[in-house]
Amino acid sequence: MEDTRISRRRLLQGAMTGLVAVPAAALIAREAAAAPALIDESDPAAKALAYLHDAKKVDAAANATYKNGQVCDNCIQYTGTAGAGQGSCNMFPGKLVKAKGWCKVWVLKPGAKL
C-alpha cells in the first residue's frame, strides 16, 4: 500500500515556494504597470509644445526655429539610451518620446552635431 501522507519537510518546501512566487509575480506586474508609455501627439502637453513623433513632419513655416536634423535624439532634454527608438524627455515626465521626434523647445545637446 502506498503511503499518501505528506511529510512536514515537503509541506514546508511547498509553502516556501509559494511565498517566494507570489511577491515575485506582484513585482513583475507592478513594473509592467509602471513602465512609461509613448506620449500621444494629441496629449495637451504634447500639443502645447507642437511635439511630433516624426521630425520630418514638422511644418517649418509654422515652426520658425525648426531646422533639418533637429530630433529628440540630439536634444538636451532627451535622456533616452543612444540607439533606442524612444526614450524619456525631461519635458514630458512619465512619458516616452520618439528618438526621431521633435518639439518647439528643442536645444542641441552638448557635444552633438546637426
89 binds ligand SF4 (CB under 6 A): yes
Q: How far is CA 53 from CA 29, 39, 56, 82, 83, in A?
A: 28, 9, 9, 17, 16
Among 53, 58, 95, 102, binds ligand SF4 (CB under 6 A): 102
CB nearer ligand SF4, residue 38 or residue 105: 105
- Are 85 and 99 spatial neighbours (Cβ–Cβ below 8 Å)? yes
Using CB under 6 A, which residues numbered 48 to 77 contact ligand SF4? 51, 72, 75, 77
Among 38, 45, 105, 108, binds ligand SF4 (CB under 6 A): 105
Among 52, 58, 96, 103, binds ligand SF4 (CB under 6 A): 103
Among 52, 58, 86, 106, binds ligand SF4 (CB under 6 A): 106
Q: How far is CA 77 from CA 30, 85, 86, 92, in A?
A: 27, 16, 13, 10
Q: How far is the CB of 42 from ligand SF4 (least distance, A)?
A: 15
28 CA to centre of own chain: 16
Element (H, E) at 32: helix 8-34
Interacting residue ranges for ligand SF4, rule: CB under 6 A: 51, 72, 75, 77-78, 89, 91, 97, 101-103, 105-106
